[in-house]
Amino acid sequence: MTNQDYRMSQLIEVEACTNCRVCSDVCPAVSATQDGELSGVHRIKGLRQILKGRTGLLQKLLGRRAPVDKEWKHFSDTVFRCTLCGNCQEVCPVGIQLRDLWLSLRQDLVHSNFYPKKIEMIRDNLKENHNVFAEDNEERADWVEDMKHPPDDGYIKDRSEVVYFTGCVASYFPLAQKIPVALVEILEVSDVDFTLLGEDEWCCGFPMLGAGLREMFQEFVDHNLEAVRAKNAKLAIFACPSCYQMWREHYPRAIEISHASQFLLNLVKKGRTPLKELPLTVTYHDPCDLGRGAGVYDEPRELIRSIPGIKFVELPRSREDCQCCGGGGNLEMIDPELSSEIARRKIEEVMGTGAQAVVTSCQQCVRTMTTYARRNKIPIEVLDITQLLHRALKKT
């Protein structure tokens, strides 16, 4: 066990924490459980103890001891009960890159053999199937066949300037498959030449970093980049904010990338996407990875407002302050009850706006919020922004 999972800058950051507890005040896991041990400040304290306990000299001089197994396990449980929403990082007055730190900490815990057993399932699924759900990767684009009028080529071309990187959730979950279906139909009506990667698309890598499995990451990056290059593509578009953020932060800048909300807004502005009136009151939930993660706040709002007939109302907590839906950080797999409690709070906030639908730009947010609303018979519609635009699409 060493401290090699941390960059030097992270080791310095850990010492910079002033114990102000602002991170705890905004943490959705803390407010859902009333358990301060899930907060950033508590985690930093635990991390300091781990780091110093490993330094033999300090141990002798200061009488510090390394945590025992029971303490490691308890600490690990708190670390993985986090949505990686980045709200703590957003408010930290010292500017500690907390989200990144949580990823390194998870990796350290995996290396130290203190991690939730579900992580092994994630690792095995990715190793064997190249997607996080243990589905056959050859079936990645099978959702196309379920469309009313699937094209002969299944939207998979040898070459195209635009690649639509679909992502694992939207490829395999029936509820989320409505998003790629909506997006490809919009692209068709807007006369965009694009291709899918089909079975050549592998997981973007986000579940690996979130699970502390960084060693597997590079192989997936190299593979995906090569698959996109083989299409001669100049641009990759993503409806999934986590895929988009992975490509934005961790892939070499070999081609242009765009989130679907940005790409579609551009099409609408150019007059390529004909829209009809859609009388609907909606609010917008900023996905953590698209908002705080990538700073994309304005384009989705502009796109919503570009639809004639739409009435738009903001959530009380929006943009940088938006509360997570509960679906991030692999939390749904690790602690489904906590994930659902965070979703409950989100839906309550949504209902308070009087909106008929909550729009987001993420298949995981759609899944988490829809599942909660359906299970509890709450009369709210949850739509991805592609689905909203699709509903307003004037098909010729």
Token pair of 256, please? 């242009």
In whole angstroms, how close is the CB of 142 to ligand SF4 at the nearest point? 34
* Other beta carbons within 10 Å of 218: 12
Rounded alpha-carbon distances, angstroms, from residue 286 to 181, 336, 346: 22, 21, 11
Max Cα-Cα span within the chain: 77
Interacting span for ligand SF4 (CB under 6 A) from 13-21, 105-113, 188-196, 294-302: 13-21
Give the nearer residue to ligand SF4 in terms of CB position, either 86 or 300.
Answer: 86
Tell me whether residue 158 is exposed, middle or buried, using C-beta atoms within 10 angstroms of its C-beta: 0 to 12, 13 to 18, 19 or more.
Answer: exposed
In whole angstroms, how close is the CB of 105 to ligand SF4 at the nearest point? 11
Q: Considering the rule CB under 6 A, would residue 41 count as an interface residue with ligand SF4?
A: yes
Using the rule CB under 6 A, which residue among 82, 350, 362, 373 binds ligand SF4? 82
Q: Read out DSSP for 129-181?
A: HSSTT---GGGTTGGGGGSSS--TTTT--S--SEEEE--HHHHH-HHHHHHHH
Q: Which helix (H) or strand (E) holds 336?
A: helix 336-351
Q: Considering the rule CB under 6 A, would residue 94 count as an interface residue with ligand SF4?
A: yes
> By CB under 6 A, how many residues form the interface with ligand SF4?
26
Residue with tokens 């859902």: 32
Closest by CA position to 252, among listed 200, 205, 183? 205
Using the rule CB under 6 A, which residue among 86, 198, 241, 287 binds ligand SF4? 86
Interacting span for ligand SF4 (CB under 6 A) from 62-70, 81-89, 119-127, 216-224: 81-89
In whole angstroms, how close is the CB of 154 to ligand SF4 at the nearest point? 38
Q: Considering the rule CB under 6 A, would residue 88 count as an interface residue with ligand SF4?
A: yes
Give the nearer residue to ligand SF4 in terms of CB position, either 50 or 389.
Answer: 50
* Other beta carbons within 10 Å of 256: 12
Using the rule CB under 6 A, which residue among 40, 46, 212, 287 binds ligand SF4? 40
Q: Considering the rule CB under 6 A, would residue 83 count as an interface residue with ligand SF4?
A: yes
In whole angstroms, how close is the CB of 347 to ligand SF4 at the nearest point? 18
Residues contacting 300, CB < 8 A, separation 6+: 261, 284, 286, 290, 359, 361, 385
Judged by the rule CB under 6 A, the positions of this chain that interact with ligand SF4 are 17-23, 26-29, 40-41, 44, 82-88, 92, 94, 96, 98-99
